[in-house]
Structure 1
Amino acid sequence: MRLVQVMVPAGKRETVLGVLDDEGIDYAVTDETSGREYTAVVSFPLPTSAVEPVLDSLRDAGLERESYTVVVDAKTVLSKKFEALEATYEADEDTTGDRIAREELATQAQELAPQFSTYVLMTVVSVVIATAGILLDSPAVVVGSMVIAPLIGPAMATAVGSVIDDDALFGRGLKLQVLGFATAIAAAAAFAWFVKTVNLVPPGLDPTTIEQVSSRLTPGFLSLAVALGAGIAGAVSLRSGVSASLVGVMIAVALVPPTAVIGIGIAWGLPVVVLGSSVLVGVNVLSINLAAMTTLWYSGYRPDNWLRRDQARSATLSRIGVLVGAIVVLSVFLGGTTYVTYATAIAEQDVREDLDSVLDGAAYDDVALVELESVHTDRLWERPLDPMPERVVVTVSVPPDTAHPGLAAAVREAIAGDENGVDVEVRFVETQHAPSLSSTPATSPSPSSTPTSDERYRQREHDRTGQSSTRVGLARSSRQFSS
């Protein structure tokens, strides 16, 4: 609910009151005695969705657009007429629920976009914290950095400025986005370089081995869905007049961590890291702006001047077209990484199945799989259509003094056949187990049954963690064979 106060100029009093009477609106009139050009102040409550159409009706009746008007939030209104008016607007299919007025929308967007100095400072602090959290591989720190990131304001200001034809608001939002991200990348790179130079991280650290980094190197189409959802949520929260703080965190999720990863890639001189995270940031920024602009336009926001509506429509559609075109271009990269990720997962599943088929053989009854690692290195970038790993490392558990020198060759034959390019390394870990003194024959495995490699692996892990038996002694040695 809103309370609207309108300063009525001389000669417009009866016109304003006539419009309010026709709309069935309760109002109070106070004579203005300040000696200015206004003669009265009219105050009246309105449902949120009625503010814009009622103000438009007053302007159509001759109330100047420059007339002093204040719209404030109202907590409670007790009035029969107000209840009837609220029911009318709720039943009107042409109104959009809790959609706030155009003027309120512009004010909300301006308030969300802070002053440039404040915006840059908060963005730099946020991305530095995110960089530290990523290098620490601490999701909690990364999430904390998102809370303070002021990224929702500029995107919403750009969208609102476009749909209501406010060039100043549009330009301000665009400026904050471009300069803010440039500053954030520079700050992340400088901080990461400092951390690396003074050895605040282990020497020789490979950032690509950090989960917070590797997860942002190959963005797929799901990243596009996250960014579009964040943009829609931001626009809906803005048009509803509700707090956008939580939505701002969601937008920061799509923008802050990959921006920090760009800085890490620059500091460590890793072009692949910079490329992958830059594409992710670009797709997310474009998608958020596209979703917000489209949502607000679909919600019916237009300039208050009829003569400017065609101009706003042309400008908004042109900008939407540019955003869609840029996203389509970047989607080629997204499609490629999505395919590579899918193909790699299928290839790794096939490798595991081929390995199981070898270990299930009678010759390897005493061999249990401990770990399977597929190493791709740079093959995904050099040969994207070949999802097979460059190297496969298999770690198996065997009884003491047991040799299987042909296992590596058998595994390689099962995985790659006669094809070259896949190296297989088998590491043997000799293990020795003593049963728990409390063990009973009922809990011992039947000697007549031959467990599969998966069953042997699960049993070994079960025993190793001590959940069903106490490990009395363990002797280990390692051997490895390669093929």
Structure 2
Amino acid sequence: MSLRILQVLLPEDDLDRLQEIFDEHGVSHHWCAPLGDARIRTDAIIAAEGNEPLLDALEEAFQDREGFRLLFLPLHATVPRLEPDEDEEEEDEGDLGGKGGLPASMREPEEAVGSKGSRSRINREELYIELDKSSRATPYYLIMVALSAVVASAGLVLNDGAVIIGAMVIAPLIGPSLGLSFATTLGDLQLGRAALLASAAGVATAFTVALLAGIVLDVDPMVDQIFGRTRLTYEHMALALAAGAAGAIAMAQGAGVGLVGVMVAVALLPPLANAGLLIGEGHWDLGGGALLLVAGNVVCVNLAATVAFLVQGIRPNSWWEEGRRQKAVWTAAVLWSLLLLGLIFVVWFAWGGEAPNLSD
């Protein structure tokens, strides 16, 4: 189990109330230190997963107090190891639900079980920091997108699947994609705008690089790696839906964008580079089909990621943000669903949903 050190900074007059909240949420491993100016710092060991109800309770109780702040620090190990409380051992022996003799500070509060879907994921603040950082169109982001497009273009022209996989590994496209879905579930317009701009910049950069490669290189549209990505099919939609859901789930488990980026890049980068290559070579019909594949994958990835975040209980803490969140969710759901239905219509009536065949 991953652990965190939670640091609570607040006036010393609030220590009793802090102790009450810790008791309510089963936090038994904590200690205090004075900071001067009638302020204290309390450190507590908590589980990385399922701590959102505790954090919400602390924010609700102390958000108006001067100097209040919550800090999260990673905890790699603790010596001696945390042991179960003696008065809980008998209860744990009969518990088949999987708490496994954890001490009180590692337990999830009963009211959190199933209430917000947060007991098996990291808290929304950690998710926000990670996705906000990776949803910016920074020079590093654009350079990595351009380099991944170069590698993907080379792999497509060479008809080498291993090279294409290498391009997906280094492509940072997952950050803005998941950032947009995460912003939708929270109703966060600022993060949503940043993620949307970063996504657009990444797509434009990758397409431009591939377009230039298509103008310079001799592109054979009949090789397997290129021709197989010139038509949107139901299989591609299923792949993109699975990639978006897997990326959101892994991100919520604390895997980080670096470990799950291939899940989204597999649905976005190769067809995007393929479209640029074909249009650069002058194959407008095949290039248009590849662009339709890109559009379908973008819709499916964002729809699946949004649903996955919602199922995992991503919610804003403040009640006044709930109305904005619901509006954003409904707007996104209607938009992505209509686009998906439109793409299904095109796929069915254009070529019956079948994959391209070299004999066509």
| TM-score normalised by structure 2 residue count | 0.86
1:108-123 equivalence runs, <5 A: 108-123=130-145
Residue by residue, what CA displacement relative to the aligned partner does 1:144-176 show, whole Å, maximum 9, x if unpaired?
111110011001111112212322211111101
- Matching residue of 1:270: 283
1:73-92 equivalence runs, <5 A: 73-76=74-77, 78-80=82-84, 83-89=103-109, 92=113
What's the % identity of the aligned pairs?
27
- In the aligned structure 1, how far is the partner of 2:351 from the partner of 2:359? 19
Residue by residue, what CA displacement relative to the aligned partner does 1:115-134 show, whole Å, maximum 9, x if unpaired?
52111111111112111211
Residue by residue, what CA displacement relative to the aligned partner does 1:231-269 show, whole Å, maximum 9, x if unpaired?
001110111112443421121111111111111121121
- Which of 216, 222, 225 aligns to 1:194? It is 216
1:301-450 equivalence runs, <5 A: 301-336=314-349, 339=352, 341=354, 375-376=359-360
Indicate the SS of the match to 2:313: coil
Indicate the SS of the match to 2:64: coil
Larger C-alpha radius of gyration, 1 or 2? 1
- Matching residue of 2:70: 69
Structure 1: gaps of 5 or more residues? 196-200, 346-373, 377-483
- Matching residue of 2:35: 32
- Matching residue of 2:58: 58
Q: Which amino acid aligns with 2:76?
A: K
- Which of 142, 146, 152 aligns to 2:174? It is 152
Indicate the SS of the match to 2:5: strand
- In the aligned structure 1, how far is the partner of 2:201 from the partner of 2:26? 49
- CA distance change for structure 1 residues 71 and 64 in 2, over 3 Å: closer, same or farther? farther
Q: Which amino acid aligns with 2:31?
A: A
* C-alpha contact (below 8 Å) 1:221/1:335 kept by paired residues: no
Q: Which moved more, 1:219-228 or 1:134-143?
A: 134-143
* C-alpha contact (below 8 Å) 1:155/1:177 kept by paired residues: yes
* C-alpha contact (below 8 Å) 2:130/2:256 kept by paired residues: no
1:228-239 equivalence runs, <5 A: 228-239=241-252
RMSD value over aligned CA atoms?
2.4
- In the aligned structure 2, how far is the partner of 1:216 from the partner of 1:128? 17
- Matching residue of 2:255: 242
* C-alpha contact (below 8 Å) 2:118/2:314 kept by paired residues: no
- Matching residue of 1:173: 195
TM superposition shift of 1:79: 4.5
- Matching residue of 1:5: 7
- CA distance change for structure 1 residues 93 and 298 in 2, over 3 Å: closer, same or farther? closer
- Matching residue of 2:97: none
Q: Which amino acid aligns with 2:182?
A: V
Number of residue-to-residue matches in the alignment: 335
* C-alpha contact (below 8 Å) 2:108/2:119 kept by paired residues: no
TM superposition shift of 1:96: 4.0
- In the aligned structure 2, how far is the partner of 1:253 from the partner of 1:25? 42
Q: Which moved more, 1:185-194 or 1:76-85?
A: 76-85
- In the aligned structure 2, how far is the partner of 1:175 from the partner of 1:4? 34
